[in-house]
Amino acid sequence: MITAEDVALYFVEYGPEGSQLRALELDETGNIKNWPAGFFGDDFTDIATLARLSAEHRLRAAGGDTSA
pTM over 0.75: no
**How distant, in Å, are the alpha carbons of 42, 48, 66 from that of 39?**
9, 11, 24
Alpha-carbon distance of 28 to 5, in angstroms, equals: 9
Which mean pLDDT values do the consecutive 10-residue runs of the chain (68 residues) have?
A: 85 90 87 80 79 90 70
Per DSSP, the three-state class of 29 is coil
Which one-letter amino acid corresponds to residue 49? Answer: T
pLDDT at 24: 92
